[in-house]
């Protein structure tokens, strides 16, 4: 799997909107971002142009208002960002990443159950 360009925090905010909606126009993305991160419409448009060049998003130009969609699934981008974080901050140790993540933000009962299921399935693969 070829490495993807690493999205900036502003690009990630746009990608989150697109991953949630599937596709959106610049105006729709701008409106979705406005409450959390007040950015101008032209700033969002410029970011989407850059993201298109970086192949983070794809643009459908068949309509008057261009429609953008994510070029890569959320899981793939998240996997790459986590892998990069493990390498840079934790010297490749997944265990240290998990320990820090769990101590920084305590998971609720549902999240703990999900983590247990994941660990059980990973242990089952090793047998």
CATH of domain 9-70: 1.10.10.10
pLDDT exceeds 80 at position 15:
yes
Question: Residue 48 contacts by C-beta under 8 Å, 6 or more apart in sequence?
Answer: 14, 26, 29, 57, 59, 68
Q: Is the dihedral of CA 104, 107, 113, 117 positive or negative?
A: negative
Which residue matches tokens 């950015």?
39
What residue segments make up the domains of the chain, in order of their start? 9-70, 74-126
Question: Residue 62 contacts by C-beta under 8 Å, 6 or more apart in sequence?
Answer: none
Tens of pLDDT, residues 34-70 = 877 778 899 999 999 999 999 999 999 888 889 999 9
pTM passes above 0.75? yes
């Amino acid at each position: 799997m070829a490495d993807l360009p690493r999205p900036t925090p502003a690009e990630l905010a746009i990608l989150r909107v697109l991953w949630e909606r599937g596709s959106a126009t610049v105006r729709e993305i701008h409106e979705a971002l406005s409450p959390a991160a007040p950015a101008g419409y032209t700033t969002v448009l410029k970011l989407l142009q850059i993201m298109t060049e970086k192949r983070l998003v794809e643009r459908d130009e068949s309509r008057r208002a261009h429609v953008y969609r994510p070029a890569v699934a959320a899981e793939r981008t998240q996997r790459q960002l986590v892998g990069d974080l493990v390498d840079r901050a934790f010297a490749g140790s997944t265990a240290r990443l998990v320990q820090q993540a769990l101590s920084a933000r305590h998971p609720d009962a549902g999240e703990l159950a999900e983590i247990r299921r994941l660990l059980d399935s990973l242990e089952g693969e090793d047998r």
